[in-house]
Structures are given as structure tokens and as C-alpha cells.
Amino acid sequence: MPDEDPVRATMKLPSPEAFGLCAAPKASTAQAVNPLVGNQLSQERFKITAVNWTVVREELHRLGAKSFQVEQMNDGRHRFACKVSKLSGQTDLVEVFGQTEEEAVRNGLDKANAIRYGL
């Protein structure tokens, strides 16, 4: 037997980035926030918060909302607005501002519930 190891052919696969894919976030940095929000990732320079729009739309439907709008204002705040029918049939406009999109949506849904059910 020869003293040397046989030469093995190595195969190198392209990185996920070569296929246009991004690396998944590390599990240790992801944490559930609340029912309206998917995952929240905190990093040194910025914070990403994703609203779970399926849950928001279900809640708006339950409230009888006719329409809704979310926008980021020039000052960085977020505005959530929706039209909600009261039990009496009258429609009211809900308009709420928040520091984040999630905050504006959460507070807007709370206010819409109060208007809808007279709380």
C-alpha cells in the first residue's frame, strides 16, 4: 500500500447568495412580539417590525371596517386610518399616529373597537 492518501476530487456548491437568496436570520435574534406582529429582529442600527396583515384584516372585517390606510409621514411617524360602522349604522373615521407601523395599527384597532362597540 502506498503511504500517501489518494487525491480526492472536491465539489464546491455555489452560495445561496449566488442564486439570489438571502441568509436566514439567526434563531437567537428572532422573537415573537404579539399577535399582530410576526417576528421582530433587533440589530444595532435599526429595528424591523413586521405587521401580520392577515390578523389585521380579519379584525377589520370583524369590526365592519369599510376601508383602511397606513402611511409613513414625513416626520417618521406612521398613520393608520379606517372607516368603522357603529352598531347604529353610522360610519366614523378612526385616525391614529404611532412611532412604528405596528404601534399605529394596534392603537387604531383598539380605537376602532371602542367606536364599534361604544366602549
52 within 8 A of 37, measured Cβ to Cβ = yes
pLDDT of amino acid 60: 92
Listed range (38-42, 79-83, 95-99, 101-105) with the worst mean pLDDT: 38-42
Higher-scoring residue by pLDDT: 50, 67: 67
d(Cα 83, Cα 67) in Å, to the nearest integer?
6
- The answer to which of 27-31, 36-40, 114-118 has the lowest mean pLDDT is 27-31
Mean pLDDT of all residues in 100-105: 94
Look at 49 and 113; give whichever has higher pLDDT.
Answer: 113
What domains are there in the chain, each with its CATH number? 51-117 (3.30.160.20)
